[in-house]
Structure 1
């Protein structure tokens, strides 16, 4: 089967839990775009997952059968993904704590050897770009290095409606530019792993 006929599995990690958050509309836009372009999409929303403040990550359980089922199920989904998309605002110019807390429940090995993309947003003019530089470092350490093109969305409340519908042409253009890189890298890494495995 040709690669174009297959679907890449992508997990969207949503970063914000703040009251009145705008991230939901960004996540809906990204999910709609990905499904329209032949991707299988799962959204990890820290509000819906409701993971506790990190005390014991999955990989600290000597016997995984004792780990919470929610953690094991999420970890299986992360390991099965072909690529990741981090959708985040910035808190005090940094990565939102809920996003870091969610990711830190799982080992780096679950993320490794897959690419990631970064989408940031803000109601102001900067589009969350200060957070994106920190997300680059995080994705590098997780082993899911982000592609070079990042998509920043300034004045997000005027760019996407509550249902995820884009309100200007730049939304589709920016997402297409990001996903063209992410898809290429995801297929390249997927094919390489299937042919040669991963380094030990």
Structure 2
């Protein structure tokens, strides 16, 4: 799971903690939560054949290894200015080959749209990375009112939506892992 916001005062960690607990309860996953705040990649990506400074290289390699290790992903994202956060897009630009032939689900949050416009943009980006997005997603509209502390106010509805997406991710994750083992995916 990837927490896609790095802003001060962000709600992402609250949403991510709740969803990570749902994924653990589901039982089909080993949950690894990646908070992009812990991976401060610069906005300037080295040109082909050039290398980043040692600290950037260390951050990039550590993040790429965690993303590569997963068979499925959930991106937890807000919507900023009708799209995804810059830190999330920057991460995708730094770490891209690791997403190929793997499923991605989305948990979004925000105001009236609940982050759905960010998810729509992410669906296009994931397709470009050769990833597979699942149809089922979960969004929290007016997120500041949707949570009571660390839990959604609509616990039953939120849990049911989470289970639907997690069930689909298990199916796609297992299917695509078997396919990659049978025949490595070539980009």
Q: Same fold (TM over 0.5)?
A: yes
| Residues 166, 172 of structure 1: 8 Å contact kept | no
Structure-1 residue corresponding to 2:170: 183
Following TM superposition, where does structure 1 have runs of at least 4 consecutive aligned residues deviating by more than 6 angstroms?
Answer: none
Distance 1:162 1:56, change over 3 A: farther
Confirm whether residue 135 of structure 1 aligns to residue 122 of structure 2: yes
Check conservation: 2:64, 2:98, Cα contact below 8 A: yes
Q: TM-score, normalised by structure 2?
A: 0.87
Worse-superposed segment, 125-134 or 47-56: 47-56
Q: Is the 8 A contact 1:56 1:105 kept in 2?
A: no
Distance in 2 between the 1:54 and 1:103 partners?
13
Picking from 92, 113, 123, the partner of 2:101 is 113
Deviations 1:56-78 (A, max 9, x none): 28xx45679x6722211221221
Paired with 1:74 and 1:100, the residues of 2 have a C-alpha distance of 14
Corresponding residue for 2:33?
43
Deviation at 1:98, TM superposition (A): 1.0
CA contact 1:159–1:167 (8 Å) conserved in 2: yes
Q: CA deviation at 1:104?
A: 1.3
Count of aligned pairs:
184
Selected match of 1:23 from 8, 12, 36: 12
Q: Under a length normalisation based on structure 1, what TM-score does the superposition of the two structures give?
A: 0.82
Matches of 2:4 and 2:69, distance apart in 1: 21
